[in-house]
Each structure stands twice: as C-alpha cells, then as structure tokens.
A and B are shown apart, each in its own frame.
Chain A
C-alpha cells in the first residue's frame, strides 16, 4: 500500500501518466514477439502458403495437361476411326467392283460355253442326222429291194440295177421332200 501510495504520489492523479517501466516492458515484449514472428512464425506460414499454392496450381496444370492429352488421344482415335471407315468403304467398293467384274466375266464365259456347247450339239446332231440318213438310205434301199423282190417274186439280183433304182427313188424322194420344204 505504501508503494501504491508512492506510485500515486509520483504519477499524480492523472490517469494519463505512464509508468515508464510498463512502457519499457511493452516495448521489449513487442520486440521479442516481433523477433519470433519474423524469425520463425512468418517464414513457416509463408512457406506453407507458397507450397500450397504451388501444389494447387501444379495439380491444376497437371489436370489440364492430362485433359489436353486425353483430348489429343480422342481426336487421334476419331481420326483413326474415320480413316478406318474410309478404308473399309474403299475396300468394299473395290470388292463390289471386283465382284461385278468377276460376275460379268463368268457370265461371258458361261455364255461362250453355252454357245460352244450348242454349236457342238448342232454339229453332232447334224452329223448324226447325216449318219442316220446314210444308214437309213442303205437300209431303206435293202428293205425296199427285198420288199419289191418279194412282191415281184423274183430276185432282183442285179445289184447295180437295183441300186440304181433305189438311188433314183431316193433322189426323187429327196427332191420331193426338198420341194415340199421349199414350198413350205
């Protein structure tokens, strides 16, 4: 209490009169705190802030790069798809053209073959007809001669004669059939 009284006496009654020791202690306290803040606290916080910013920005950059890469890959795949589709179309067109070509060739070949077969058949038929005519002629001659000899009752042994008759007959027959054909 004595001390307080001394203090009060020294400082007077003004509440604005400072205790200079408090003044100095406050200055010193501020200085110490300031030192700690500058030396330890602030660098640590600023470092963390900077690292965090870098991490976030790095993350964003990485994500952007990945996005760009993905876009590039997508474009590439799309391009490849378009290329492949074009290629497939081209191949299909080629195949179609080739198929048409083959078909046409085959048709042509078949037509030629059929023409050839028909021709051959005609030739053969003609030949066979000729053979038949020849053979028929011979046979008919013999049969007719025999028939005639039977009817006549005598042998027409004279071959030359008989064959001459037959020939004439046939020639007549032929000419008559030919004239009939011509008349048609």
Chain B
C-alpha cells in the first residue's frame, strides 16, 4: 500500500492504482438499465466466462469419454487421467470406503469448474479468474457447505450436529468452551474460509497483474526515461508474478477440491472423529 501511495504522493497527477471496481468490467448486456429494473441484473464478462467454462469442460470430457476404448487414444487418455486424478488422488484417498464413488462427480465437477475458471485469469484477453468475484466463490462454497451438512444429516440424523460439535474424550467442564468453538469453526468459519480462500487468492493475483500492467503503462507514458527504464523491472516482476499466479490458480483448484473432500469425509465419519 505504501508502494502504491508513493507515486500518488510525489506527483500531482501521478499514478492512480486500479481498484477492485476496475476489475469488474462493464456489463456486456446491461439490460437492467435498458428495462429500468431497480436492481442490477446486467450480464457481465464474468458470467460469460463461467458459462464458457461449462461449455469447454463439458465439450472436452464428452469428447474424451465418447466411444471409450480399452486402449485409449490421446484425448481419451487425457480425459481419463484427469478424471482418474480426482477420482483416485482426491476421492479415493480422502473419502475412501466403498461408496466414495458417489461423491466423485461433485469433486470432479468442482475441480475442473474451479480450475478452468481460475486459468482464465492466465489467458490473455480473457485475463479474469471468475472466482475473483465473490459471488461465484460464495456459490461454489455454498454448494459444498450444503452438501456435507446434508451428508452428515443423512448419515447420522440430527445426532450429526452433536457429533460434529461435541468432541469425544473431552471432560464435561471444558465442553462449554469447546462446543461454541466447534460450532463456530465447523459451521461458520469453515464455509467462509472455503469460499474466501479461493476468492481472495484469485482476486489478489488478478489485482497484482492488473496493477503491474497499469503501472507499466503509466511509467512508459510519462516520458521520463528513468521511469521508462524502471518499467522493464516491473515487467520482469510482473512476468514472475504471472507465473506464480498460474501456479496458485492450479493449486487453489486442488486445495478447494481437497478441502471439499475432507469436509465430506468428516461428515461421513463424524462418529469416528
């Protein structure tokens, strides 16, 4: 923040850092305005990209799984590897048991939905990770929140809430402290962190890249040779950050799915924890 404030403080008309509002593109179809609806139902770039991701993922996996053969071709092999990764490395290893397969579609869909939408942030011209918008992050975290709470209730009945918040082996006189902590951590903090982790990492990465881009633009346009020279350093830093962001995009998709699997497993085996 200091670094951002510095140029603004030293020069009169100086550098204005991009804000979060700048990452929200103008709506492509602002039909909310056109029809004078009081709320804002505009159709923006982010929504288009979410839909695009659905089309891309569905198309790829439909092609990969169509006419499956025992000895797979290239596309089928790629699809099977991707599916097998989520199925075995996340579903089977974390949830395990006989019926982990029931939850694989949730994990599989979530992983590739998040992954592709994240990677959008690293693709020129698209350049917007969909989950840097909080609405999307809340939505996907909410899906899994409802899913694992539902699984817990289905599996253990209403006793699930007792199992989830009353840890076994704790002396009764500590329970008044432990139970509220467990309630807060399991049912409030968990879904919030689940969504915010994804949203914040994506937004931060997106902002850094945006910031670097606008900084370079500003430096080059000043006409000051020293600032123009410095812009090269910013560019190098921006490329490094871009690479780091690309890594984080993939990592966050994995982390999100892994946590979802861990929460599902925790709900399934609430009596064992």
Contact = CB atoms under 8 A, between A and B. Distances in A.
Interface in A10-43: 10, 15-27, 29-30, 32-34, 36-38, 40-42
B136 interface: yes
22 contacts: A3-B32, A16-B196, A19-B46, A19-B135, A21-B42, A22-B47, A26-B130, A26-B140, A27-B139, A27-B142, A29-B51, A29-B113, A30-B109, A30-B113, A32-B54, A33-B54, A33-B109, A37-B61, A40-B65, A45-B83, A48-B76, A55-B70
B273 interface: no
B104 interface: yes
Contacts of A51: 70
Contacts of B109: 30, 33-34, 37
Contact of B134 (A3, A18, A42): A18
Contact of A4 (B24, B79, B113, B134): B24
Given A3-B40, A47-B68, A29 B138 contact: no
Interface core residue of B61, B69, B72, B79 (most chain A CB under 10 Å): B61
A49 B32 CA distance: 48
Nearest to A16: B134
A48 B133 contact: no
A6 B47 contact: no
B44 interface: yes
Contact count band on A: 35 or more
A1 B22 CA distance: 10
A51 B196 CA distance: 41
Given A18-B134, A22-B50, A37-B61, A6 B139 contact: no
Interface in A69-118: none
A148 interface: no
Interface core residue of B44, B62, B109 (most chain A CB under 10 Å): B109
A37 B113 CA distance: 11
A123 interface: no
A68 interface: no
Interface in B63-88: 64-66, 68-70, 72, 76, 79-80, 83-84, 87
Contact of A21 (B47, B104, B113, B134): B47
Interface core residue of A1, A19, A24, A32 (most chain B CB under 10 Å): A19
A10 B40 contact: yes
A1 B26 CA distance: 7
B128 to A, nearest CB: 12
B89 to A, nearest CB: 15
Contacts of B26: 1, 3-4
Given A17-B134, A33-B113, A8 B80 contact: no
Nearest to A3: B30
A2 interface: yes
Interface in B118-167: 130, 133-136, 138-140, 142-143
A23 to B, nearest CB: 4
Contacts of B271: none
